[in-house]
Each structure stands twice: as structure tokens, then as C-alpha cells.
Amino acid sequence: MRFFKTLEYFTGSFFLILPLFIFSPAFSQSPLPEWGYFSPQEISLKECSFDPEAEAVILLDEAVAEYDDDYRLITRRRVRIKILNTRGLKYADVSIPFYSKNDFESVDKIEALTHNFNENGHSQMTMLDKKSVFKEKRDDKYSLMKFPMPAVKEGSIIEYRYEVATKTFSGPDDWYFQNDIPTIKSAFLLQVPPRAEFTYQVQRKNSLPIIIKPLPNEGKVYFEMNNIPALRYEPYMDAPRDYVQKVAFQLSGVVNRFGHKQDINTTWKSLANDLMTEKYFGSQLDKDLKVDEVKKLADAESTATGKMKVIYNYVRNNFTWNGYHGIYTPDGLKAVWERKKGSNSEINLLLINFLNTNGVDVYPMLVAERDYGKIDPNYPFIDRFNKAVAFVMADDKQYILDATEKYCPAGLTPYQLLNTMAFIVDKKKPDLVNIASNKAYRNKVTVEAVVDEKGELHGNAVVESSEYSRQDRVKRIKSDQKKFITEQFEKPFRELAVDSFMFVNLDADELPLIQHIRFSQQPEEGGDFVFLNNNFFMGLEKNPFTSSIRFTNVNFGYPYVMSMEAVFRLPAGAKMDLPKDRTLQSTDGKISLQREIKFENGEIKVKLFFTQSITLVTPENYPALKEFYKNMVDMLNEPVVLKLAK
């Protein structure tokens, strides 16, 4: 069964000059329940039939989005949830996010009720105390309206509604039919303002039908989906928005008072033209900011690659990302230069400016990071991108640079961009490109250890981490070295303790990160036997793929090349049962593991070599991947069985 594999798109646009109308449930293919009234099925529901593992279920999620006379977007939303068991009680703590900067959005008219039912189905209603509602500031842009639902227990139905007023003409946010718990009914009615045209996309699983009812004479369109399973986290998963059942909106055109239509970014070329002439984007890229220290660094280099590296290193080491995303630089690059801080795009646009004004061939590139979601090449939607980076051509090689990635050297494509599509913003030759990995995740492990007469293991290991492994580990060490040691070297192994840890080349981008580990491990015993682990520090101790069904792509991002060579010296008189030499290979030859193991001169010598060239696996191929990883991890965890002399 395919899940979220095929996306189905519908487009609709509306030119409206008629008065606004009020939403009526008659627009629905099935009537929506009234506030505070419940069906016998809702009251008696104890398990979600199409998602039996659910701890709670959304009975109804419906909203109406209309524009008032001031062209504010007014969204009225109602949510009804049944708590199925105690694990679902967390859904009684309600948080409503909104964009609060400059009062751009406000949340008002909050009402909420909790209903509990006795054996006869009679309801006891508890209303929300308005004093329980409070506003929490999340950051400089966003806030939350929060409130705990009262008297909630297993079997409760909670229901709340509210109104959001938005100062916008650009259209509503995407409507998500799906959540992390199943949804029985999700409905959305949108009114398009006069003289505006919107395009919408529907993303859904083939087996989940959708109701779409355009009402062009009334300037509205209605969407509804029913019986939608939950979307839960899975290992190596892309952004949930790539798979969630949803409808996305984009302003595509405006009609002026004379009846003439002005298209808005209807092609990628027009989007590139608009961006490169935009005051707070393209117009900033060739301004001479007169930064003498950058010019001095660039002039000292004789090649384009050298200039690129010194400028990139200067920006990533001297400017701080403020945590905000965005495409534009609203205060201009001179302000970014002066405050040494900015959004991700502001810092990267400054990098592009420095490269451009110092003779390096560079273009802005709009990207959608893997956690943000994929773009659709058929629709030039700028809000599908979450930042700009630098695309550089230097000495016949291509580079993608993001100066907010403090631990990513020039020449290593940022991990969050791997297996995504990006847009090179160039007025002459705009281009959509697929970003693939240019390096691998590389680890080389060397172990020397001694097994004493009691079966305890004492050893030293050296790990050489290169390319993506180096970047990942440097970031984790600098963030929290103790946590890194625990998670990387101790937690995966039973009774293993790291006695000392040191590293070399932490700040040398061009060299492997060398990690020296001294460790000890208590024996695992069974009767007269000791079981010796012979798979250390490869990162292949457990199978991450345990779910029976995979709904999303498995996105590894990069290839893997990892090896281990280990020598275990045994005490005199020890006898052993060695695992056999083996080679495992996937049917397509893109994943393989080789093991050689032998005993000579009182020592067990083990060699492991793992390669994986495939970086993206579809749900159809998930069962084969899961089975291969299971067999591989089982093989790696085959112990050497020792019988020690007494």
C-alpha cells in the first residue's frame, strides 16, 4: 500500500466582486454537528476503528475563513476531541499559536467545554473559566494562547472554539486535515476577497477521498476529509508537511479597479525577475558595503576557490543567526553588517554580496530544508522556501554555502539540503536543481582490547570521522561533550564505561576528527561462558526500522562508508566459538557489510566494512530495507563465545 507517495493537485482561482456571504453547513456534503451536542456514536466511542492505537481522536476540526470590510482575514475555528485513555489526557492542554509581532494576529472569543458521560449517556458539562486562559510569548514573533480544559478524564469529550483576526491580504495558512492523532472529520470553508485570485493544492493519500466544492458565485470554496489516520514520527523521516493530508493556498493574481489582472509569480522566471529587482533582496547583492577587511582577505587569494573559502569563513565566524527564517533583508545588508546578527537569509545574502563584490561567481539560491518540506516544481510558490543560501561556481566546481552552518566547511553541502529541490535565482537563467550529497558519512574505527581472567574487557579505541560524520560529531561535542560521550560510546553497549576521552583536529575543517577512547566493559555471562561483543562504535548496534508499515520515504541524506578493525587479546587457556566470516548485500547491491574474523597468536582479529550508496528509499521498498537491516544488525551482534580457564 502506498502512503503519501502520490500527490494529487487541484487548482482553483476566483475573481470576486460580489458581496460576502456567511458560511452555512449546507455547503457540506454532510452536516456538521452543533456546538455542545453529541451523537450516540461519539458518546460510546472507545477506540478509533481506522487507527486503533490512538490515545485520543479528533471528532471534528472545522474552520471558516472570511475577509471583513477592512480586508482582515477572520478565521473562526472549532475543535472537538474524545479522550480515549489516560495517555490522551495531554490533549486537554490547549495551545493556539499566532503571529503576535506588531499585532499582526490576535486570538479572541475563546469558549471551551468539557463533557463527561454516565452509563446512560447523560452529560455533565464543565465550562472553561476565562481566568484560566493566558498568553505566553514564544519569541519576538510568535505567541501562544493557552488554557487547560477543566474536569478532563478518560472518556471525556472536550470542545473549544475561537476566532483569529489576521492583518493580511496574502491568503490563509495551509489547512491540515491530519494531525498526530486521528481525525474523523475535518472541514474548511474559504472566502476569497474581491479582486483576488488564489491557487490551491491538495496533497493527499490516494485511498483517502476529499470533498472539494467550489462556490464561485459566492466567492467561496469548501474542503472536507473524513476518517484520517494519525501521522506519527518515523526514523529518517522528511518533514511531516511532505506527507500530511492538507490543502495549501497561494495568492496568484490581483485584479485592479479597471478590471485588469496582474499575475503574481505565475512562472519561475517571473519569480526570479521579481526577486532580483526587489529592494530587500536582489537590489542588495551588488551594493558596495565598503568592508575593507573582507576585500583584504579576498585580495590575498589568487583563485576563486580561495576567495570563496576565506569570505565564507569570515562570515560564518563573525555573524550570528538570530534564530529567524525568512527570504528578505527588511533592514538592508548594511544594518546586518553593523549589528553582526541577522536571520538565516540576511546572513547568506550578506555572504553573497561579499562574494559578488569580490569577483566570485555567485547566485542566491532559495532552499526548503528537509525539515521544512518539499517544493512542487509546477508551482512557483515562494513560501515553500524557508531561506536563501549561496550557490557558487569557482574553478569549474559548484558549491552550496550556508554561513549559518557553523560546523559545515566549504565543499560540504549542508545536510538539511540533501535530497531536496532548490531554486537558483538568476534573471537570465533561473533554474530548479536537485541537491544530492557530494560526500559521505565516513568513520574508521580501530580497537585494541584485552580480556582478563574474569572476562572483563579493557581497551583503547581510535575513531577517525570525516566529511558528514566529522560535521555531526564536532557540532555535538561543542554543544555538550558529556552527552556526546554517553550517547555515542556508552549508551549503545551494555555495561560499557568510557574511562577517558580526548580529540584532535576539532577546529581543523580539512582534517578528520580523531577521537581517542579508553573504555572498559563488564562481561555478559551465561553459565560457564562469557559472551564477547565484537562490534564497537560503528553506530550499527540497533535496527532503527521496527515498524511493520512505513508511510514515508526513508531519507538517509548521504551515503555511508564505515569500517572497524579490532584486536582482542585473550587470557591463556581460553577456548572460543567464533562467528563465521560473512558478507551481506542488498538485492540491488547498494548496501553491503563484510565481516572477517579469525584467531591467531592468542588474539581475535575482527574486520568489518559497511557501505551504503542509496540515500532515499520509497515506502514500497521499505520491507526489503527493514529485513536487510534486521539481518545485518543480528549478524553484527553475534558474540564470540568464550570459555575461560579457571
- Burial of 420 by CB count in 10 Å (0-12 exposed, 13-18 middle, 19+ buried)? buried
In order of start, what are the domains of the chain with their CATH numbers?
40-255 (2.60.40.3140), 268-435 (3.10.620.30), 441-643 (2.60.120.1130)
- Burial of 20 by CB count in 10 Å (0-12 exposed, 13-18 middle, 19+ buried)? middle
Alpha-helical (H) ranges within 390-486 are 467-479, 481-485
pLDDT confidence of residue 541: 92
CA 181 to mean position of chain CA atoms:
19
Report the half-sphere exposure of 597 (CA within 13 A, side-chain side).
Answer: 22
Strands 496-504, 457-466: pairing is unpaired
**Cell representation of residue 547:** 515498524
pLDDT confidence of residue 264: 55
**Cell representation of residue 231:** 501521522
Host H or E run for residue 363? strand 361-367
* Torsion angle defined by CA atoms of residues 564, 567, 568 and 573, in that order, rounded to the nearest 10 degrees: 140
413 by DSSP, 3-state: which? Answer: coil
The parts of the chain modelled with pLDDT lower than 50 are 1-29, 256-259
646 by DSSP, 3-state: which? Answer: coil
Distance separating alpha carbons of residues 443 and 537, to the nearest angstrom: 9
**Cell representation of residue 82:** 474524545
Q: What is the pLDDT of residues 189-199, one digit of tens each?
A: 998 776 667 77
Please give the C-alpha separations between residue 30 and each of 5, 26, 57, 158, 164, in angstroms, as whole numbers: 28, 8, 19, 22, 25
Can you give the length of the chain in residues? 646
Please give the C-alpha separations between residue 96 and each of 15, 68, 142, 143, 534, in angstroms, as whole numbers: 32, 22, 10, 8, 51
36 by DSSP, 3-state: which? Answer: coil
**Cell representation of residue 236:** 529518517
Question: Listing from the earlier edge strand, what are the strands of the sheet with 142-148?
Answer: 93-99, 142-148, 134-137
Residue 234 CB partners (closer than 8 Å, separation 6+): 547, 550, 551, 552
How much of the chain is in helix, strand and coil states, percent to nearest 5? Answer: 20, 35, 40
- Residue 97: what residue type? P
Distance separating alpha carbons of residues 45 and 30, to the nearest angstrom: 20
In DSSP notation, 531-595 reads EE----SSS-SS-S---S---S-EE--S-EEEEEEEEEEPPTT-EEEPPPPEEEE-TTSSEEEEE
Q: What secondary structure letter does DSSP report for 510?
A: T
Distance separating alpha carbons of residues 329 and 325, to the nearest angstrom: 11
Q: What are phi and psi for residue 259, nearest 5 degrees?
A: 90, 5
Contact status, residue 412 vs residue 440, Cβ threshold 8 Å: no
